[in-house]
Amino acid sequence: MDDDVGTRDTPAEVDATFRTLRRVAVGYFVVFLLGVAAFPVLTLTLDWWSQARLVGGMSPGFLVAAFGLYGFFAVLGIAAARLSSAVEHRMLGEAAQPADDTVDEEDAR
């Protein structure tokens, strides 16, 4: 953690960041639910999803359950973490920029 005393976030900035991160989390949760709900929907509506045979006699549904969902979860988790970190970095922790009319100690000597 950075203990920079010059960095202060106002309660309004923290609240705005919280609301933005909550929207991001809800959005990714909806994508997660759609991805998970698509699997049984495909199983019930498409016969070839469970009856066709691909690599090693495995059905497309089995391949997605065994491998595809893990990839989907990993990509979704990484994307959510990166977006949340970027939002927090952009919205919080900005040190106040000194005004142009201030004089540094080195310039005063």
Tell me: the pLDDT tens digits for 42-70? Answer: 999 999 988 889 988 999 999 999 999 99
Q: Are 57 and 66 in contact (CB under 8 A)?
A: no
Write down the pLDDT at residue 92: 85
Rounded to whole angstroms, the Cα distance separating 83 from 27 reads 11
The number of CA neighbours under 13 Å toward the Cβ of 46 is: 13
Q: What is the pTM of this model?
A: 0.70
In angstroms, the Cα distances linking 75 to 3, 14, 61, 85 are 33, 28, 19, 15
Would you place residue 93 in the very low, low, confident or very high pLDDT band (cuts 50, 70, 90)?
confident
CB 89, CB 3: distance < 8 Å: no
The domain limits of the chain are 35-91
101 residue type, one letter: D
User: Would you state the pLDDT for residue 23?
Assistant: 95
DSSP state of 64: I
Provide the H-helix boundaries in 1-109: 11-45, 47-51, 60-63, 69-91, 105-108
Tokens of 101: 């009319």
pLDDT of residue 3: 60
pLDDT tens string 3-33: 656 678 888 888 899 999 999 999 999 999 9
Question: Given a cut of 60, is residue 108 above it in pLDDT?
Answer: no
Residue 2 has pLDDT above 90, yes or no: no
